[in-house]
Structure 1
């Protein structure tokens, strides 16, 4: 069985919120795909409720693409403490953090229900499980704590 990097990470040693580059993979034609750990909540100490996380997912998937080039996907961890972010190329962690901050700021301060994409039965596999209120509260909390440029030290917060 192949090793999965996230299962080898010492989740007790990290200091959330942070953005961490997990790996850069190069395709057969030299294209680079970067995989980031975007951790919003300290592992094993809390988790974002499903409805709030779901709404953050929908809004950040759209907003982040306005602030960071090359976004392929941003998907929540099953543990509900953050997201995997996949991008083309090798963006600097500081640029990723800036895009995440601006996306969370939008959720915390400006987003209205009409700004949440994909919330109908046609567009979403669990459209009834959303909460903009929870998404706002968690976005504010994450921004207030600051997003570190390092997973193990509070840097650039």
Structure 2
């Protein structure tokens, strides 16, 4: 079988960043898939499921309520390897285009207080697996280490 696109990325040289993973077409529409890489693959511990789950709930809620991007959001969810998230947007975007959106989202998560949206038995299939303090820590770290002064090497996959 042919390797899927995400398996062709050099994960040994990949650093935390914000990458265009792929662009697909659905009819006349372009779908841009972003790789929101929060930890260094195969180099540092992956995120635990509880903070990943919390970031997913907060991030999806933020994005689907965003004044400008809500109608473009198709999906926001975790990578199976737990090193980051995928964001699918309807439209032809570059990584640089959504840096402001990601700064907003991770600032929202880093400062979030209160009940986690959708963290109830009737709303979620694993509502008890949440860790808001660690989700906030990871969001602050991603803001500081990646988004605040993002470099080209964090916007484009390594060759």
- 1: CA distance between counterparts of 2:68 and 2:82? 23
- 2: CA distance between counterparts of 1:154 and 1:74? 20
Cα deviations by residue, 1:10-65 (Å, 9 ceiling, x for unpaired): 1011121x1111221112x3111111111011111221111111100100012123
Match for residue 19 of structure 1?
A: 18
- Measured after TM superposition, the shift of residue 4 of structure 1 is 1.0
Contact 1:71/1:86 (<8 A) preserved: yes
Contact 1:20/1:149 (<8 A) preserved: no
- Measured after TM superposition, the shift of residue 142 of structure 1 is 1.1
Contact 1:68/1:96 (<8 A) preserved: no
Between 58-67 and 74-83, report the one with greater CA deviation.
58-67
- Measured after TM superposition, the shift of residue 97 of structure 1 is 2.0
Match for residue 96 of structure 2?
A: 94
- 2: CA distance between counterparts of 1:8 and 1:71? 25
- 2: CA distance between counterparts of 1:98 and 1:11? 25
Match for residue 106 of structure 2?
A: 104
Is residue 10 from structure 1 mapped to residue 48 from structure 2 by the alignment? no
The 3 A distance-change label for structure 1 pair 149 and 121 is farther
Q: Over the residues paired in the alignment, what is the CA RMSD in angstroms?
A: 1.7
- 2: CA distance between counterparts of 1:97 and 1:89? 15
Q: Unmatched 5+ residue regions in structure 1? A: none
- 2: CA distance between counterparts of 1:100 and 1:64? 9
Match for residue 83 of structure 2?
A: 81
Is residue 31 from structure 1 mapped to residue 29 from structure 2 by the alignment? yes
Q: Calculate the TM-score normalised by the size of structure 1.
A: 0.86
- Measured after TM superposition, the shift of residue 83 of structure 1 is 0.7
- 2: CA distance between counterparts of 1:68 and 1:146? 23
